[in-house]
Chains A and B, each alone.
Chain A
Amino acid sequence: MGEAAKTVIFEIERQNSTDESSYWEKFELPYRANMNVISALMEIRRNPVNMDGKKTTPVNWDMNCLEEVCGACSMVINGKARQSCTALVDQLEQPIRLQPMRTFPVVRDLIVDRSRMFDSLKKVKAWVPIDGTHDLGEGPRMPERKRQWAYELSKCMTCGVCLEACPNVNDKSDFIGAAPLSQVRLMNAHPTGAMNRDERLNAIMGEGGLADCGNSQNCVESCPKGIPLTTSIAALNRDVSIQMFRNFFGSDQSFFVSAENTQAWLKQMSFAPVFAILTK
Chain B
Amino acid sequence: MDNNREFLMRRLHSLLGVIPIGLFLTQHLIVNHFATQGVEAFNQAAHFMANLPFVIFLEIFVIYLPLMYHAFYGLYIAFTAKNNPGHYSYMRNMLFVAQRYTGVFLVVFIAWHIFETRFQVAIGAGEADFNMMENILSNPLMFAFYVVGVLSATFHFANGLWSFFVTWGITVSAKAQRYSTYFTLLVFIVLSIIGIRALFAFV
Contacts and interface: CB of A to CB of B under 8 A. Distances in A.
B55 interface: no
A237 B92 contact: no
B1 A258 contact: yes
Interface stretch (A15-23, A37-45, A88-96, A206-214): A206-214
Given A165-B88, A173-B80, A214-B77, A230 B177 contact: yes
Interface in B74-117: 77, 79-84, 86-88, 90, 92-93, 96-97
A222 B145 CA distance: 37
B172 interface: yes
Contacts of A214: 77, 81, 96, 163
Interface residues of B, number: 36
B88 A218 contact: yes
Given A206-B4, A230-B177, A165 B168 contact: no
A218 B90 contact: yes
A86 interface: no
A79 B169 CA distance: 32
A80 B83 CA distance: 14
Contacts, number: 113
B156 to A, nearest CB: 14
Nearest to A254: B1
A176 to B, nearest CB: 12
Contacts of A168: 80-82
B88 A80 contact: yes
Contacts of B177: 230, 234
Given A167-B93, A212-B10, A215-B163, A172 B168 contact: no
Given A167-B83, A207-B6, A230-B174, A221 B88 contact: yes
Contacts of B6: 206-209, 211-212
A107 B80 CA distance: 25
Contacts of A218: 84, 88, 90, 92-93
B183 to A, nearest CB: 16
A231 B3 contact: no
A233 B174 CA distance: 11
A221 B4 CA distance: 29
Interface string A164-205: 010110101100000000000000000000000000001001
A72 B166 CA distance: 32
A221 to B, nearest CB: 5
A82 B122 CA distance: 57
Size band of the interface chain A makes with B: 35 or more
A259 B14 CA distance: 29
Nearest to B166: A234
A215 B92 contact: yes
A235 B167 CA distance: 9
Interface in A208-254: 208-212, 214-218, 221-222, 228, 230-231, 233-241, 244, 247
Nearest to A206: B3
Contacts of A205: 4, 7
A257 interface: yes
B26 interface: no
B27 to A, nearest CB: 26
Given A79-B86, A209-B4, A235-B169, 6 more contacts: A167-B84, A172-B82, A205-B7, A210-B7, A217-B96, A237-B167
Interface of A: 79-80, 165, 167-168, 170, 172-173, 202, 205-212, 214-218, 221-222, 228, 230-231, 233-241, 244, 247, 257-258
18 contacts: A79-B86, A167-B84, A167-B96, A172-B79, A205-B7, A211-B6, A216-B88, A216-B97, A218-B84, A221-B90, A230-B166, A231-B173, A237-B169, A240-B7, A244-B7, A244-B8, A244-B11, A257-B1
Interface of B: 1-4, 6-8, 10-11, 77, 79-84, 86-88, 90, 92-93, 96-97, 162-163, 166-174, 177
Ranked nearest first, the 3 interchain pairs of A and B with the lowest CB-CB distance are A238-B169, A79-B87, A211-B10
